[in-house]
Amino acid sequence: MTHVGDRVLRVDALEKVTGRAVFGSDMALPGMLHGAVLRSPHAHARILAIDTSRAERAPGVRTVTTGQDFPFTFGASIKDQPFLAIDRVRFVGEAVVAVAADTELQAQEALDLISVQYEEVPAVLDPWEALAQDAPLVHPDLHTYRRGGHEIVPHSNINTVARYVHGDVEGGFRQADLVFEDEFFAHALSHAAMETHAAVAQYRPADGGYTLWVSTDRPFQMRNELAAGLGLSSNQVRLIVGCVGGSFGGKNTLVAEAAAVALARRLAGRPVRVELSREEDLVASQVRMPVLIKLKTGVRRDGTLVARRAEFLWDGGAYASNAVGIAVRGPRAVFGPYRIPNVEYFSRMVYTNKEPTGSYRGYGTTQAAWACESQMDIIAHRLRIDPIVIRLRNAYEDGDPWLNGQIMHGVNARETLEVVGREIGWGRVERVPAPHLRRGKGVASMMKETATPTSSNVVIKVEQDGRVVVLCAAPEIGAGQATVLSQMAADAIGVPLGAVSIPATDTATTPFNGPVASSRTTYHVGSAIRMAGLEIRDKALALAGKVLGVEPELLDLDDGVIVERGVGPRTTLRELLTGFGAEGFSLLAEARYSSAGSPLLKADAGLEWASSIFWMIASQAVEIEVDIETGVIRVVKAAAAADVGRAVNPTGCEQQIEGGVVMGLSNALFEEFIMQSGRIENGSLADYKVATIQDLPEIVPCIVESDHPEAPFGAKGIGEPAAAATPPAIANALFDAIGVRIKDLPLTPAKVLAAIEAAKGQGVFEEMGLR
Amino acid sequence: MISVTLTVNRVHHEAAVEENITLLEFLREVLHLTGAKEGCGVGECGTCVVLVDGSPVNSCLVLMGDADGHEVETIEGLAGDDGLNALQAAFVAAGAIQCGYCTPAMVLAAEALLRANPQPSPSEIGEALGGVLCRCGAYSKVLDAVSTAAAKGVRP
């Protein structure tokens, strides 16, 4: 009896469909107070004075606190962000003063009684302007901040510089028959998880530490960030994580947590809750990092790629958050799933006086894939090669070396392209239902690494009643982690799925894990679960052998039943353990999986750091309908394939693939922040539109499998690849439909109409229109 | 303070509440029924949908004075002692649940639809659920779940 590979029902479905699931935003404790935050109205200003005296006397108010009272900073890669603004505000919406009161309304009303005197200073809102010699500096003290080992440019707005070179790009361009140069822009996006950022924090006067109940996808990283920010040892900060109402990379740093902790420090042990409003969540949390990408590619006439150079200018916003890694690693995805012998990228991230940026489902891949796949389409059309054919001609095959010489195993780009082509009816011209409508099809692929090396630790215990408890810090953010990890635990041990449970993450009791990010959970936590599970199984059989007087080698554990070979069922795991009665017996096992040191990471000398323990590939083909009178694009159908290694739960894979298409089309067509002098003007879901069920196209999810030699049960990852290919596939379908190319996201009706007008001037559109 | 009388999940309540509190706040903070969620607080995301006299409403927009005398159903009242109702079971079976934050609202909006229109077309399902946002993008399997429940004809 096994479960891996089966369409098992999600283990969290019952509590969610009945409304019993407790999310971070549902958390309530006795005596809990409610926080509210006063935010900066200016993009860049000095704080001259803050008067909180009237607010302190307001009904129900328990404390009011400012950055002067709580002068700490935090940051995952650059310690640049204050819990509450200190002396200076750097974006509209930055937290300046926090209030705790008996009720949320009292806290909010007290905000009106606070007066802050600002002196506005010049703001930098554009990444090119941020590069200028005389640009206002968002962080004049950047060079003094504690940070990791990455490169910065002191006394400038450039907080990250990264380069990668492999081969001889100039030589490659000389060998090329044609060289393409294009500029692309990928825009800021809100994660817009339906659950906004929320946290409950409690100060512990006894040891000067804090306990927090939070919604996060990286409990240990957030714990460490908090401890480092406050100068505490990491065990003085305890994080408890319930159900997370969506993350998409957004719930990785201190957002609601920062104000909650600053308030808790003054409340002598009373818990305080801070929940962001939707407007705060949109304008004052963090967003996908916008980027300008210059892409130069040399190709032979047969479509073979010979060289590519990319330059990235990332618009990082006011604080670096965890975006440094995006600027460093994200550009790798601009080379796509393609063999290119000569490559180079130069990537810079700048501070600007805007909402901070950070990880967003794909960690830079969605932006890089937008440029890569748009240009692949440009190249294909120019060379008159079918867009799928040109991709197949260049696509990695299993065993090919990546751009650092690492031999890639378990990659199946070919099948992802072939299957989406078949499913979309590639090459078939669809009937146009009305004269003002045009149909088109487009394809795009992507490839992404996973953060390497990282580790996962797991403890498994089997209770007296035979139930299996898996302790691992892998919060269920909605992507189905709890289900696939339970399936793997059940199979490694040999128990029914229903016997396995994964309690909520609590950093005080759960062993360390890397983040639930980079699509790494199934592979890394799964590997540790498999190791610990097999140990539990061995221990159970040894124990059974002793009790039954049988050689353990003759015993097997299947579906919770201990079977003697040639004899049949002898006892159950439950009977075995309850047999110890009041004396008691818990089976225990621990395991650690780390990708560090894996022979799979071997690469060219000095480049092993760029290897990935597995590679994820996805392709999508979409059919769109565009209204040439209104410029509105509708996605009619999407065929979306992901190479997942082995599907632990095919339904779960489909959920990710289908959800990825919906998010991708929403990102590409509807979502855009409207900025005015650094202020986001559309801070509501009425004005920042995300896709509804009425925007749903027909989606054909296609699971492609491949052989990875080290993957637990063969499984790689899927969360991030699912959303990256949709925007370029839509843009490529737009070109197919009406012959216009849009290189800056989003693909709004106004841009489509403007592109049609521009194309008319060049006679292109008439030609296409006659088709 | 105002005094209101209403039934929630067939239980009669008489309460004295602040005039400006919403039905959503009453459900979550007074009755501790946290299945209805506050995704925006201004009627734009639909995660707070409950049924009032059988119709789906954004409970964040209903002041308690306006709930007086009405019958409210929340997700907590949908499952009987014998388990999930047909629609809930269909959501579970179809894999229509991801992070689960919008799930109670999706189920209730679909419940109201099927009571009024037992055999809805896909576009009717889309219209009925169009006001509930799901950022996980579970829409495809939500549509499957509602269609399957309707096809089975099992009235909740």
Residues 8-27 on A with a CB inside 8 Å of B are 9-10, 12-23, 25-26
Question: Amino acid identity of A542?
Answer: A
**Residue A421 clears pLDDT 60, i.e. is over it:** yes
**Residue A129 clears pLDDT 70, i.e. is over it:** yes
**Residue A614 clears pLDDT 70, i.e. is over it:** yes
Half-sphere exposure of A699 (CA within 13 A, CB side): 33
Contacts of B147 (CB under 8 A, 6+ apart): B122, B125
**Residue A280 clears pLDDT 90, i.e. is over it:** yes
Domain map (residue ranges) of chain A: 13-20+452-594, 29-122+209-268, 412-451+610-771
Assigned CATH for B2-77 = 3.10.20.30
Q: Kindly report, residue by residue over A210-229, the tens digit of the pLDDT.
A: 999 999 999 999 999 999 99
Task: Compute the mean pLDDT over every residue in chain A, rounded to the nearest whole number.
Answer: 97
Q: CA A136, CA A118: separation in Å to the nearest integer?
A: 17
CA nearest neighbour of A330 among A294, A293, A368, A361: A368
Cβ–Cβ gap A9/B78 under 8 Å: no
Cβ–Cβ gap A13/B102 under 8 Å: no
Q: Which two tokens stand for residue A162?
A: 């990264």
Cβ–Cβ gap B39/A480 under 8 Å: no
SS3 A700: strand
Residue with tokens 């959501």: B91
Q: CA B74, CA B39: separation in Å to the nearest integer?
A: 16
Q: Do domains A29-122+209-268 and A412-451+610-771 have the same CATH topology?
A: no
Cβ–Cβ gap B99/A478 under 8 Å: yes
CATH match of A412-451+610-771 with 3.30.365.10? yes
Gyration radius of chain A over CA positions? 27
CA nearest neighbour of A752 among A733, A728, A734: A734
Q: Does B131 touch chain A (CB under 8 A)?
A: yes
Indicate the residue of B76, B126, B134 with minimum beta-carbon distance to A19.
B76
CA nearest neighbour of A178 among A292, A337, A308, A338: A308
Q: Kindly report, residue by residue over A312-367, the tens digit of the pLDDT.
A: 999 999 999 999 999 999 999 999 999 999 999 999 999 999 999 999 999 999 99
Residue with tokens 């930055």: A94
ipTM: 0.98
Q: Kindly report, residue by residue over A147-191, the tens digit of the pLDDT.
A: 988 999 999 999 999 999 999 999 999 999 999 999 999 999 999
Reported as type and span, the H/E element at residue A587 is strand A587-594
Report the pLDDT value the prediction gives residue A761, as an integer from 0 to 100. 78
Q: Does A30 touch chain B (CB under 8 A)?
A: no
Q: Sign of dihedral through CA atoms A134, A135, A141, A142?
A: negative
Residues lower than pLDDT 70 in chain B: 154-156
Q: Give the mutation candidate from A106, A278, A693 for the B interface (greatest B CB count, under 10 A).
A: A693
Cβ–Cβ gap B34/A19 under 8 Å: yes
**A13-20+452-594, CATH topology level:** Aldehyde Oxidoreductase; domain 4 (3.30.365)
Q: Does B93 touch chain A (CB under 8 A)?
A: yes
Give domain A29-122+209-268's CATH architecture: Alpha-Beta Complex (3.90)
Residue with tokens 């140069």: A181
Indicate the residue of B47, B97, B141 with minimum beta-carbon distance to A16.
B97
Q: Kindly report, residue by residue over A452-476, the tens digit of the pLDDT.
A: 999 999 999 999 999 999 999 999 9
Chain B hits for A17, CB-CB cut-off 8 Å, are 75, 84, 88, 91-92, 97, 100, 103-104, 107
Report the pLDDT value the prediction gives residue A493, as an integer from 0 to 100. 98
In chain B, how long is the greatest CA-to-CA distance?
47
Residues 187-216 on A with a CB inside 8 Å of B are 191-196
Q: CA A318, CA A315: separation in Å to the nearest integer?
A: 9
CA nearest neighbour of A262 among A81, A57, A99: A99
Residues 253-292 on A with a CB inside 8 Å of B are 277-278
Cα first-last separation, chain A: 57
Contacts of A464 (CB under 8 A, 6+ apart): A577, A578, A580, A584, A585, A586
The edge-to-edge listing of strands for the beta sheet with A272-275 is A61-66, A95-101, A33-39, A272-275, A198-204, A209-214, A237-241, A505-506
Q: CA B153, CA A544: separation in Å to the nearest integer?
A: 50
Cβ–Cβ gap A696/B136 under 8 Å: no
Banded model confidence at residue A771, pLDDT cuts 50, 70, 90: very low
In chain A, how long is the greatest CA-to-CA distance?
89
Contacts of A232 (CB under 8 A, 6+ apart): A208, A209, A210, A226
Domain map (residue ranges) of chain B: 2-77, 86-152
What is the arithmetic mean of pLDDT over A706-722?
95
**Residue A763 clears pLDDT 80, i.e. is over it:** no
What is the arithmetic mean of pLDDT over A653-665?
98
Cβ–Cβ gap B135/A480 under 8 Å: no
Residues of chain A with pLDDT > 70, as a percent, come to 99
In B, minimum Cα distance to A637 occurs at B140
SS3 A574: helix
Banded model confidence at residue A769, pLDDT cuts 50, 70, 90: very low
Report the pLDDT value the prediction gives residue A762, as an integer from 0 to 100. 77
Report the pLDDT value the prediction gives residue A764, as an integer from 0 to 100. 60
Verdict on whether the full-model pTM lies above 0.95: yes
**Per-residue b or e along A692-721, where b marks 16 or more CB atoms closer than 10 Å to that residue's CB:** bbebbbebbbbbbbbebebbbbbbbbbbbb
Cβ–Cβ gap A693/B139 under 8 Å: yes
Q: Does B146 touch chain A (CB under 8 A)?
A: no
Q: Does A478 touch chain B (CB under 8 A)?
A: yes
Shortest CA gap A102–chain B (Å): 13
Q: CA A60, CA A66: separation in Å to the nearest integer?
A: 18
Residue with tokens 């403890």: A459
**Residue A770 clears pLDDT 60, i.e. is over it:** no
**B86-152, CATH topology level:** DNA polymerase; domain 1 (1.10.150)
Banded model confidence at residue A431, pLDDT cuts 50, 70, 90: confident
Report the pLDDT value the prediction gives residue A765, as an integer from 0 to 100. 58
Chain A hits for B134, CB-CB cut-off 8 Å, are 194, 693
SS3 A570: strand
Higher pLDDT, A759 or B12: B12
